[in-house]
Structure formats: structure tokens, C-alpha cells
């Protein structure tokens, strides 16, 4: 039996007065999720732990069965993997912003005017920075963002950020966060990187051009969120599952890559409101033919939650539901629908409210709860589980769980 795990990012919500205290999921028309619910068991899930408000990366790690306490040091590693960079065990990975500083290294714009073009040229130039004993890789990401890999002996991820957090302040010195010689060394390397980046970027043609156009030059990089790649067994070794990922956002691709999944590139899968929902489902169904496990990620409910737009949240849930129609006639596949965290429209950010989860298939105990929303799920046969439980429960249903004792 195969497994299709559909994660609707930020799906969970709180009651909305205008919806007569229903949540967007409860208010949405969702005939396909409802049809699936008839052959499913439902529950609520604390992806990290009850009352813990998780970021997306630790939440996905937990859902994939990787304890975030052990494997999550920061988002950089997953962003880098999601951008397609190859990482080695022990690599220190930073996220960075392209920013604008004056000649006294005072920050004028923390995002270099939200630069969104030709950062590929800037990153290419930065890759000329040479510091003895350490290998550096710069890679641009969305808009003013990028990642920096630092590779070498005796490095640590226990170092502070350099972004002073607001304009008008000098770029911060990177500080070691523990007393190890590794942290001390890494902090001083980060300071050198910042300095060297300014030397290279200040007269780069892209920036001369930007100044001419009257927009802030991207003349420095500000590393933050140091993280380390820990060695880990992928889905294949860990669970005997050949796994694929269909996602738009870099972070989700990165976590999937970390877990050893084959990350598919699907035309139109963008991680934005404009994503091609149906293309993603089609790609997932195709991938299921060749792999045992497919992780299908939809970002849009989270975007609507962060926008505080419950109407849009209902709309994207309905579009996801529509796209999921082919799942209602699948044979020999366990369908799982859940979220990584709640993003209530009322607070426009992640909350710890447990997420609904539904596991559907012939072998699943039907709990006689019709429909799928936060309140109905809480009455379901799974009761309240934790993120780390999910993959083990799925492995058991497809009869891949190892026996504990005799």
C-alpha cells in the first residue's frame, strides 16, 4: 500500500465571528474531503507538542518523524537544500539578507529596497571571496534573501546574527553563543564575510546601476540564523519507503530533501496563490506510481491566514478540495490530510492550536465522523496525537512497522 500525505500549510484556525464562530475549514464547501472522511479516521495533532507554536520547518520534521529537538538547529539548512544546494555533514548554513549600508557600515536599508533582480550576479561575485581554511558558497533566494554555506574544520552554528534589526545602526559584530573555540572562530569568520562582501559588492555593476536608478544598492550581506546539517537517514533507510515531494516553497522542498525524498519540479507549483493545484495533484498521482510515499504540500491556506483573510482562506481550501477529487477514487493508497500548524486569520501568524488530521483508506478504522474540520476531527477516532506519532501510525497501517519485542 502506498501513502499520499497532503499537508495544507497553516490550515487550522480559530472561530471567526463573521462565520458564526466556525473556522474557515468548517465553513468551506469541500465535497471531496467529506467523501474521503467516510473512509477515514480523524483526530487532532500537536505537531511539536501541546501549546508549542511551531515554525514550518520543525513542524514538517516532526510530521516526517524526525524529532525537531534533535534535527532542527535553524532554517538555513532547509532553505539551502530547497534551493538545490548540495550540503555535507557539518556544513554551517546561514540565511542572509542583501542590505544597504553607508561607508561607515551603518544599515540604511535592511532589505536593499527589496531587491528582486540580478541577485544571481551578486551571489556569483560573492563566490570569489576567499578566506583561508574555509569554503564559502553564496546562493541567492527569493527577493533580498540568500543562503551562505560555510564549510571547513572546527566550525560551529552557535553564533549570533549580524543584522542590527533596524536601520540607523551599524552592522552588528557576530558573537559566539557559547565558549567553544569553534564558535569564536566562526563568529570571526562571519565578520570577515560581512566585510569582504562590502568590498566586493559596493562597486559591483549591478549596484552602480541601482544607484543610477535611485534604488538602494545591495552592497552587503547580513548573515543570520546559523544552522548545521546533521547526518540523518532518509525515508528509504529509515522507513523502507521510496519518497517523493511535490511542493512549491523552497523550505518544504528542503525539509523533504533532508528526509531523503526525491523533490519533483512541477510546472506551475509556486507556493503562492497562483499555484497550479491540479498540476500538483496530477504530479503526485504520477509519482505514486514509482514511489511508496508522496508528500504533497499546499502553501495557500497559510498565506491567507497570514493575510488575515478568512474569505480567501475558505476559497483556497475549496480549490484544494477540488484538486483533490482524483484522490477519492484511489485504490491501495493511504490518503492523509493534515497541516503543519494553525495560522488563525485573527492573529495572522502561527498558533499552537492543534491541527486536524485525517487518515483514509480501506484498512483504516472508520470513526463515523462525517466531514473534516478542527471540531469534528477532535471527536474522531485518532483522538489527540503528536507530530512524531504520525509517520509511525502510517507505517503501521501499511504494515511496515517493526515489531517491538516478541
> Residues interacting with a second copy, by CB under 8 A?
14-15, 17, 21, 23, 44, 48-58, 68, 72, 74-75, 225, 344, 346-347, 350-353, 362-368, 374-375, 378-386, 389-397, 399, 401-406
Which of 39, 106 has the CB closer to a second copy? Answer: 39
Q: For the CB of residue 42, give the shortest distance to a second copy in the complex, in Å.
A: 10
**Cell numbers 512524531 label which residue?**
388
**Helices of type H across 265-405:** 277-290, 300-306, 310-323, 374-378, 387-397
Which of 79, 91 has the CB closer to a second copy? Answer: 79
Q: For the CB of residue 69, give the shortest distance to a second copy in the complex, in Å.
A: 10
**Cβ 99 vs Cβ 250: under 8 Å:** no
Which of 134, 339 has the CB closer to a second copy? Answer: 339
**Cβ 194 vs Cβ 131: under 8 Å:** no
**Cβ 357 vs Cβ 337: under 8 Å:** yes
Give me the phi and psi of 342, to 5 degrees please.
-90, 145
The burial of 267, by beta-carbon neighbours within 10 Å (0-12 exposed, 13-18 middle, 19 or more buried), is given as exposed
Which of 94, 277 has the CB closer to a second copy? Answer: 94
Element (H, E) at 147: strand 145-152
Q: For the CB of residue 86, give the shortest distance to a second copy in the complex, in Å.
A: 23
Instruction: Show the CA angle centred on residue 85, arms to residues 82 and 91, nearest 5°.
Output: 105
Give me the phi and psi of 319, to 5 degrees please.
-70, -40
Distance separating alpha carbons of residues 107 and 112, to the nearest angstrom:
10
Distance separating alpha carbons of residues 338 and 9, to the nearest angstrom:
8
Which of 283, 390 has the CB closer to a second copy? Answer: 390
**DSSP bridge pairs for 18:** none
Which of 202, 392 has the CB closer to a second copy? Answer: 392
Distance separating alpha carbons of residues 7 and 265, to the nearest angstrom:
17
Q: For the CB of residue 50, give the shortest distance to a second copy in the complex, in Å.
A: 4
Which of 45, 243 has the CB closer to a second copy? Answer: 45
Q: For the CB of residue 349, give the shortest distance to a second copy in the complex, in Å.
A: 8
The burial of 126, by beta-carbon neighbours within 10 Å (0-12 exposed, 13-18 middle, 19 or more buried), is given as buried
Which of 210, 350 has the CB closer to a second copy? Answer: 350
Q: For the CB of residue 403, give the shortest distance to a second copy in the complex, in Å.
A: 5
Q: For the CB of residue 93, give the shortest distance to a second copy in the complex, in Å.
A: 13
Closest C-alpha among 207, 210, 158 to residue 184:
158
> Regarding beta strands 243-246 and 293-298, do their DSSP bridges make them parallel or antiparallel, or are they unpaired?
parallel
Which of 294, 391 has the CB closer to a second copy? Answer: 391
Q: For the CB of residue 363, give the shortest distance to a second copy in the complex, in Å.
A: 5
The three grid cell numbers given for residue 229, joined into one nine-digit string: 546539517
Q: For the CB of residue 344, give the shortest distance to a second copy in the complex, in Å.
A: 8
Amino acid at each position: 500500500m502506498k501513502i499520499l500525505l497532503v499537508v495544507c500549510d497553516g490550515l487550522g484556525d480559530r472561530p471567526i465571528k463573521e462565520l458564526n464562530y466556525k473556522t474557515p475549514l468548517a465553513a468551506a464547501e469541500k465535497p471531496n474531503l467529506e467523501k474521503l472522511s467516510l473512509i477515514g479516521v480523524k483526530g487532532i495533532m500537536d505537531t511539536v507538542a501541546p501549546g508549542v507554536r511551531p515554525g514550518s520547518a520543525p513542524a514538517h520534521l516532526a510530521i516526517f518523524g524526525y524529532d525537531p529537538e534533535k534535527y532542527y538547529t535553524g532554517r538555513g539548512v532547509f532553505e539551502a537544500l530547497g534551493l538545490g544546494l548540495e550540503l555535507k555533514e557539518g556544513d554551517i548554513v546561514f540565511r542572509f539578507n542583501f542590505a544597504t549600508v553607508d561607508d561607515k557600515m551603518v544599515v540604511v536599508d535592511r532589505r536593499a529596497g527589496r531587491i528582486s533582480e540580478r541577485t544571481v550576479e551578486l551571489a556569483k561575485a560573492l563566490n570569489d571571496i576567499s578566506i583561508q581554511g574555509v569554503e564559502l558558497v553564496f546562493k541567492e533566494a527569493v527577493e533580498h534573501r540568500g543562503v551562505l554555506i560555510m564549510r571547513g574544520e572546527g566550525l560551529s552554528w552557535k553564533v549570533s546574527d549580524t543584522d542590527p534589526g533596524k536601520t540607523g545602526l551599524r552592522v552588528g559584530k557576530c558573537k559566539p553563543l557559547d565558549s567553544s573555540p569553534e564558535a569564536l572562530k566562526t563568529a570571526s569568520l562571519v565578520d570577515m564575510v560581512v566585510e569582504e562582501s562590502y568590498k566586493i559588492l559596493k562597486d559591483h555593476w549591478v549596484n552602480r546601476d541601482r544607484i543610477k536608478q535611485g534604488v538602494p544598492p545591495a552592497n552587503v550581506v547580513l548573515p543570520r540564523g546559523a544552522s548545521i546539517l546533521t547526518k540523518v537517514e532518509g525515508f528509504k533507510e529509515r522507513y523502507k519507503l521510496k519518497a517523493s515531494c511535490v511542493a512549491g516553497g523552497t523550505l518544504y522542498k528542503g525539509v523533504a530533501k533532508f528526509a531523503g525524498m526525491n523533490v519533483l519540479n512541477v510546472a506551475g507549483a509556486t507556493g503562492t496563490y497562483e499555484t497550479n493545484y491540479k498540476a500538483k495533484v496530477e504530479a503526485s498521482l504520477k509519482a505514486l506510481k514509482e514511489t511508496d510515499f508522496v508528500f504533497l504540500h499546499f502553501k495557500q491556506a497559510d498565506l491567507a491566514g497570514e493575510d488575515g483573510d478568512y474569505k480567501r482562506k475558505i476559497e483556497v481550501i475549496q480549490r484544494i478540495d477540488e484538486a483533490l477529487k482524483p484522490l477519492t477514487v484511489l485504490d491501495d493508497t493511504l490518503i492523509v490530510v493534515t497541516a503543519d500548524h494553525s495560522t488563525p486569520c485573527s492573529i495572522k501568524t502561527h498558533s499552537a492550536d492543534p491541527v486536524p488530521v485525517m487518515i483514509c483508506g480501506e484498512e483504516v478504522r472508520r470513526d463515523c465522523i462525517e466531514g473534516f474540520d478542527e471540531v469534528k476531527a477532535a471527536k474522531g477516532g485518532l483522538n489527540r496525537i503528536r507530530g512524531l506519532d504520525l509517520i509511525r501510525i502510517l507505517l503501521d497501517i501499511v504494515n511496515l512497522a517493526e515489531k517491538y519485542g516478541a
